[in-house]
Structure 1
Amino acid sequence: MQNDRNDVGSLWVGVVAIIALLYCNPARAEARVILLRGWFGVFSTGLDEIADALKAKGIRAEVAGHLYWRTAADDILRERAEGKTDALVLVGHSQGANNVIDMARVLEAKNVPVALLVTLAPYRQNPIPSNVMRAINYYQSTGWGAPITAGTGFQGRLSNIDVKEDSTVSHINIDKSTRVQAEIAREVGAVVKAN
């Protein structure tokens, strides 16, 4: 009888140890959100507001100038190799919007999935690569931007959202639209929750 108790006790200790390793591992992957500003990095301050809202919810988010895209892609590839990055979200405004598509394309070549890619008024409408699961493009048919298209092999979900009905929104301030910010935060939250 005593041996049976020891066996059960040992079993429980083993179960607890496995759970601790699975859920408390410091190298465990976590979602990462990268937001890239447009030219000069001064016109896209709404991205800072989005990042602050995400950070307040415990979501890892960073804002950088559009020229950071190649460094960020290299960082993501390194983190993937270390097992540190799970869901990946890329958001960009203007030139930064074009560069998040460039980033996704570099990651596509290495089979790294992008859970969510959001573009705000990209000045070029490059096709979305096949590694993107969900893509959302905010644009103004009466101003700057146009719908974007799916690239070869794209199997994800693509939404083009025309914000022309809001006359206060322009290319320069689309990232500051409270509606757009709320929608982006909601989409990012859904990705993180599903992660």
Structure 2
Amino acid sequence: MKSYRGNIGSVGWSSCSRQASWRRLQTIAIAILLLLPIGASPVLAAPNSASAASTSHVYLLRGVLNIFSLGLDDIAAQLRAQGIPVTVANFASWSSLADEAAAGFKSGRIKTIILVGHSSGATALPDMVARLDQLGAPVKLAIGLDSVFRTKLSGRVGRYVNFYIANGNGEPVAKTAQFQGKLENINVQNVPGVGHMSIEKNQIMQQKVISEIDAVVFGRSAPASGPQKPRQPRAAGAARPGRADTAAVRQ
């Protein structure tokens, strides 16, 4: 009987020891959790892509006749598929769209304003940028697709990218002393299949535009937006008078 009692005592002591160890582990674990800073969870600290998309707004401006800028609809569909709000309108609406964007920015509903324009829509972009700056709603990114008129840029914009076709009717954008931001004039005449009436429909150009927008909205790396090198050297005197014969002009 004594031996039997001794075994019970041994088992009881072992059980108590394990319980005490478990309580100590619990105490240590709780102490560690209390010492961790609030919000240290990797999931909580990760950027909220959905929120970044929903608080951005891309305005796409068509040219003179809406039937000639249908490639903007393809770009809009791809952006919407990523959760980015988009407005597609004729370039003549740029002033009212600027007022709308500024109101959304001031209310906090819109945090990132992005503009894209084709042909006359690209020509209207500098006016829309300047208007938004006056209204206290700076543009984060503006992309022009082959403006056929020389325009001057003023106001604030994070980055202004002007894709133009130098051997066609496209024109570079000039900046004024009142301009604040980064301006890039990029000649895309060597992109296969590109033309004034097809630049916004060209899949290579569409991908360039979307990549630039994604880089701003989601913080992704945008591919180099510079043009391809000419496949053949240009003939002497082929450049139009008064135009620099270069692959790209960056400012």
1:32 and 2:71 aligned: no
Number of residues of Structure 1 aligned to a counterpart in Structure 2: 172
| Pairing partner for 1:180 from 202, 205, 208 | 205
State how 1:1-195 maps to structure 2 within 5 Å. 30-166=55-191, 168-194=193-219
Q: Secondary structure at the match of 1:117?
A: strand
RCO (CA 8 Å, sep 6+): is it higher in 1 or 2? 1
Tell me by how many angstroms 1:170 deviates. 1.4
Separation in structure 2 between the aligned mates of residue 36 and residue 114 of structure 1, nearest angstrom? 15
Would the aligned equivalents of 1:139 and 1:145 in 2 still touch at CA under 8 Å?
yes
Per mean C-alpha deviation after superposition, the further-off stretch among 33-42 and 148-157 is 148-157
Deviations 1:116-148 (A, max 9, x none): 000011122212223111011111110011221
Amino acid of the residue matched to residue 162 of structure 1? Answer: N
Q: Secondary structure at the match of 1:171?
A: coil
Q: TM-score, normalised by structure 2?
A: 0.63
Separation in structure 1 between the aligned mates of residue 207 and residue 88 of structure 2, nearest angstrom? 17
Amino acid of the residue matched to residue 140 of structure 1? Answer: I
Separation in structure 1 between the aligned mates of residue 156 and residue 181 of structure 2, nearest angstrom? 8
Q: Secondary structure at the match of 1:99?
A: helix
Would the aligned equivalents of 2:159 and 2:183 in 1 still touch at CA under 8 Å?
yes
Separation in structure 1 between the aligned mates of residue 102 and residue 190 of structure 2, nearest angstrom? 40
Separation in structure 2 between the aligned mates of residue 146 and residue 167 of structure 1, nearest angstrom? 19
Could you tell me the percent identity over the aligned residues? Answer: 34
Q: Secondary structure at the match of 1:68?
A: helix
Q: CA RMSD in A?
A: 2.2
Amino acid of the residue matched to residue 183 of structure 1? Answer: K
Larger radius of gyration: 2
Per mean C-alpha deviation after superposition, the further-off stretch among 151-160 and 70-79 is 151-160
The 4+ residue runs of structure 1 with deviation greater than 3 A are: none
Would the aligned equivalents of 1:45 and 1:176 in 2 still touch at CA under 8 Å?
yes
Q: Which runs of 5+ in 1 are unaligned?
A: 1-14
Q: Secondary structure at the match of 1:150?
A: strand
Would the aligned equivalents of 2:106 and 2:137 in 1 still touch at CA under 8 Å?
no
